[in-house]
Amino acid sequence: SAVISQKPSRDICQRGTSLTIQCQVDSQVTMMFWYRQQPGQSLTLIATANQGSEATYESGFVIDKFPISRPNLTFSTLTVSNMSPEDSSIYLCSVEGGSSGYTFGSGTRLTVV
Amino acid sequence: SQELEQSPQSLIVQEGKNLTINCTSSKTLYGLYWYKQKYGEGLIFLMMLQKGGEEKSHEKITAKLDEKKQQSSLHITASQPSHAGIYLCGADEFRTYKYIFGTGTRLKVLA
């Protein structure tokens, strides 16, 4: 199965600033998924990122707030823009692993102060 | 570190049959989540269990967390082709701020 390197693992950011989260996969994958988990809640899918096309965002998430890049088949970034304390969450990237199902990054724990 | 093991790894059932997927943790669970992933799509949250002995149902899917909070089961009644996908349990790893996930169960339902 694929191995994902996600960074940073955690960060504390000032409100109004932006943070870019990176995910590097050790193999080429078509689709990458970005999730958010707010404190005490389940994972929520933010968007699906395909290489060569714009990301598809789920209801409640917009590109201006969560711009995503997918420059190639092994890499993607998610930016959390103009952050507020409500953005404090864990952010996860994920890829399908073919016969092994799926793989997740280790997560980025974001605290906005 | 805490680990979640799911069984079975894969399951093929005839439409209309009942089935159960298990998720066993190596340590006490402080929040257990069940997700479903359709092929080529992201995770869909199904249910969250927190209390020992807790049971929740949604449509034909029932999830339980045992009293010791180390095992959870997901039961599907009268399975349908729409139930096909990968079922995944997930949990917050105690004191490490990491997410851990089960090994996944791939379900196929034959019409």
pLDDT band at A106 (very low <50, low <70, confident <90, very high): confident
Q: A18-27, A103-112, B21-30: which range is least confident on average?
A: A103-112
Percent helix, percent strand, percent coil in chain B, to nearest 5 = 5, 55, 40
Taking CB atoms and an 8 Å limit, are A43 and B43 in contact across chains? yes
Given a cut of 60, whether residue A82 has pLDDT beyond it is yes
Mutant choice from B99, B100, B106 vs A, greatest count of A C-beta within 10 A: B99
In which residue are the tokens 């349908």 written?
B80
As given in the structure block, the two tokens for residue B55 are 């049971």
Q: Average pLDDT over chain B, rounded to whole?
A: 87
Task: Give the mean model confidence (pLDDT) for residues B92-98.
Answer: 64
Kindly state whether B87 is in contact with chain A, defined as any CB-CB distance less than 8 angstroms: no
pLDDT band at A103 (very low <50, low <70, confident <90, very high): confident
Mutant choice from B92, B101, B106, B107 vs A, greatest count of A C-beta within 10 A: B101
Q: A47-51, A108-112, B23-27, B80-84: which range is least confident on average?
A: A47-51
Kindly state whether A11 is in contact with chain B, defined as any CB-CB distance less than 8 angstroms: no
Taking CB atoms and an 8 Å limit, are B86 and A102 in contact across chains? yes
Given a cut of 70, whether residue B41 has pLDDT beyond it is no
Rounded percentage of chain A residues whose pLDDT exceeds 90:
57
Q: CB under 8 Å, gap of 24 or more: what pairs does A96-100 form?
A: A96/A29, A96/A30, A96/A31, A96/B40, A97/A1, A97/A2, A98/A1, A100/A1, A100/B104
- B17–chain A nearest CA distance, Å: 23
- B76–chain A nearest CA distance, Å: 20
Given a cut of 90, whether residue B98 has pLDDT beyond it is no
Given a cut of 60, whether residue B92 has pLDDT beyond it is yes
